[in-house]
Amino acid sequence: MIRILFFAIFILALAAGFSWLADRPGELAMIWQGQRVEMSLMVAATLLVSLFAAILIAIWIIRTVWLSPHSISRYFRARKRDRGYQALSTGLIAAGAGDAALARKMTARTRSLISADQEPLIHLLEAQTALIEGKNDDARKKFELMADDPETRELGLRGLYLEAKRLGANEAARQYAERAAEKSPHLPWATLATLDYRSQAGSWDEAIRLLDQSRAAHVIERTEADRKKAVLLTARAKDKLESDPKGARDDALAALKLSENLVPAGLIAAKALFREDNLRKGATILEKLWKHQPQAEVAKLYVRARSGDSATDRLKRASKLEAIRPNNAVSLATVAESALEARELSLARAKAEAAARILPTEGIFLLLADIEEADTGDDGRIRHWMNQALKSPRDPAWTADGVTSPEWLPVSPVSGRLDAFEWKMPVAQIAGPVEEHAAEAVDAAIRSLPPVTVKAASEPVKVVPQAKVEPVREEPVTRTIAVPAPSESVLVPQTVVVTPAKVAEPQAEKPKPAAQKVEVDNVAPAEPFFGRPPDDPGVRETAAAEKANFRLF
C-alpha cells in the first residue's frame, strides 16, 4: 500500500514538472564534437528522463541475469520448505487428533524436507507422536532436548511437567515447575503450579513472595491474586494463632482487607481479638460475616465469645444473631441450641421446628431429639426425630474434591489445589426434596409424633383370706377378684378360672387391713391365690413396679 502511494506521488510530481516546462518554453543549444545541436527545453527534458529510465532497466536486466542461479536455487529451496511446513502442519493436526500412523508418516516426511535445527517444532511433533504411540521414554527424551534449547525451553519444561504429573512424580513435577517459573516468570501454569507446591509444603512466606511477583508481572488477574493472597495470609495466621496471637491477628485482618467475606480469616481474627479481651472488635467482625453468610462456626464463636457467660447470656447473644438475619435456618437453630442450654424448652422447640421447616437437615432433627429428651424423655418420640435425621440431608461443611473436613484447610488434600474448600452440603440428596415442600414434610413429621407415654405407678395387690382353709378339691373353681386398673384406683371385678393344687391345711392368719377384697362364688373355703398358700401377702411391690416400668427398648 505504501509503495503504491509513493508511486502515485512520483507520477504526479513528474506530470507537474512537465506541465511547468510546457508553460515556460525555451531553446537549448549544445555544441558537441564540432556539431551544434539545438532543441526545445521540453524535448531535452524528455530525453533526459528517457535516458534515466533506460539506465535503470539495463541495471535490472544485468542484475537478474547475474543472480539467476541463486534465485533458481532459492526458489526450489523455498518450495521444499513450504512442502515441509505443510507436512509439519498436517502431522501436528494428526497428532492432536490421535492418528498415530499419519503423524509418524508426516514426521518422516518433515524430517526429509526440513532440518530440525531450522525448525524446532519437529521435536514437538516427534514427542507428540511418541506419546500417542505409548512411547513415553522417547517422548521424555524429546522434551529434554527441547528444554535444553533456549527457543523451546518453556515448551519442553511444560511437557516434562505434565509427564511427571501423569506418572505421579510430584517432586519432579515441582522441580520442573519451579525451573520454568524461574526462567520465565510470565508463564501462568508454572507460577500457579509452583504456588500450589509451596502451599502444600506450608512455605507461606515463599508462596506470598511468588504471588506478589506474579501480580507485578500481570500473570494473574488482580481479583484472583487478592483472593489467593488472602488465603495464604489466613493459612499463615492459622499456624501462628497458638504461638503468636498478635501476628495471627495482623495476618487475618490483612486477609480480610483483601477478601472481606473470607470466613476462616474472620474466625481467626476474632479468636485472636478475644484472647486480647477485645470483645467488641471481634464481635463486629463476626457480625459482618454473619450478615454476608450465616454459618454455624460463626454463631458458635459469637455466642461463646466470653467464657464466663451464663446460659441466659448466651441465649441473648444468639437472639441478637437472629435479629441480624431473621427467618434463617442457622439463626433459628442457634437460638434453639442456646435455649436448650438455658432450659427454655418451649422456646427451643419452637425455634427448632421453624428451622426444620426452612431447611430440614440432619443436625436440626438431632437437635429436636435432644430437646425431646430434655422435655418429655419419651423414647418413642426421640426415635421418631432420630429417624427423621437419618432421612434428611447432611449439614453444610467444609468440602473440597468430594472430601469433608471438620475445619477449614487452605489446600485440598486430594488435588493439592489452593483455596479449594467451600462451605456447602457435602452430598446432595438423591431422592426426596431438600427445599421444595420442606415445610409440608416437617409438618407431617410433627403431626406423626407418637403421643407422650405417661408412666403410671401400680399399687401392690394383696389377698386377704376370709375363712379357714379346708382340703382342696380336684375340679377347677371360678373366682371373681377385684383387681385395680393400671391407670385407675377403682377395683374392677374380673373372673378367672383357677385349678388349685393339693396343699396341706395351714393355719389362717389374723386378718390384715387391705385395699382389696376377694369374693368367692360357689366355694365354701378360701383357696390359694394362683396356687400360693393362704398366708401369701400378695404381689410384691418390686415386681409390680418392674411390670409397670417395662419398656420395649
Per residue, the 3-state secondary structure of 106-152, as one string, reads HHHHHHHHCCCCCCCHHHHHHHHHHHHCCCHHHHHHHHHHHHHCHHH
* Three-state SS sequence of 371-399: HHHHHCCCHHHHHHHHHHHHCCCCCCEEE
498: enclosing H helix or E strand: strand 491-498
What is the structure's pLDDT at 468? 42
Average pLDDT, the chain: 79
SS3 call for 330: helix
Nearest to residue 469, comparing CAs of 386, 420, 529? 529
Range scoring the smallest mean pLDDT among 159-173, 177-191, 417-431, 501-515: 501-515
Q: What is the mean pLDDT of residues 161-171?
A: 86
Min mean pLDDT across 2-11, 316-325, 381-390, 534-543 is at: 534-543
Do 457 and 465 meet the contact criterion of CB atoms below 8 Å apart? Answer: no
pLDDT, residue 454, reads 56
In the predicted structure, residue 469 carries a pLDDT above the cut 90: no
Mean pLDDT, to the nearest integer, of 434-451? 71
3-state helix, strand, coil split of the chain in percent (to 5) is: 60, 10, 30
High-pLDDT (> 70) share of the chain, %: 79
Top-ranked range on mean pLDDT: pick from 75-84, 495-504, 522-531? 75-84
Q: What is the model's pLDDT at position 371? A: 93
CA dist 56 and 126 (Å) reads 51
Which of 292-306, 322-336, 518-532 is least confident?
Answer: 518-532
| Nearest by Cα to 527 from 461, 462, 473, 460 | 473
Average pLDDT on 458-469 reads 40
Closest listed residue to residue 283, CA positions, set 299, 294, 296, 295: 299
Give residue 428's region: left, alpha or beta (phi > 0; psi -120 to 50). Answer: beta
Which pLDDT value is given to residue 461? 38
What average pLDDT does range 300-320 have in this prediction? 91
DSSP classification of residue 62:
H
Q: Please give the model's pTM, rounded to 2 decimal places.
A: 0.64
The answer to whether residues 184 and 190 touch, using CB atoms and an 8 Å cutoff, is: yes
Task: State the cell numbers at 188.
Answer: 501462568
Q: Is 495 helix (H, G, I), strand (E, B) or coil?
A: strand
If one counts every other C-beta atom within 10 angstroms of the C-beta of residue 543, the result is 11
Contact predicate 432/391, CB 8 Å:
yes
User: What distance in Å separates the CA atoms of residue 480 and residue 499, rounded to the nearest whole number?
Assistant: 14
- What does the pLDDT look like over 472-523, one tens digit per residue? 444 444 444 444 443 333 334 444 444 444 434 444 444 444 434 434 344 4
Q: What is the dihedral of CA 15, 19, 25, 28, to 10 degrees?
A: -10
User: Using alpha carbons only, how large is the chain's radius of gyration in Å?
Assistant: 50
Q: Residue 363 has what pLDDT?
A: 92
Three-state DSSP class for 494?
Answer: strand
Give the residue-averaged pLDDT of 25-32.
Answer: 78
Using alpha carbons, list the distances in angstroms from residue 114 to 85, 92, 107, 111: 8, 15, 10, 5
User: What pLDDT sits at residue 283?
Assistant: 93
Q: How, if at all, do strands 397-400 and 403-405 pair?
A: antiparallel
Cα four-point dihedral sign 502, 504, 505, 506: negative
Phi/psi at 453 (5° precision): -85, 120
178-183-185 Cα angle (round to 5): 75
Residues 369-386 pLDDT 10s: 999 999 988 898 999 999
Lowest mean pLDDT among 40-54, 288-302, 334-348: 40-54
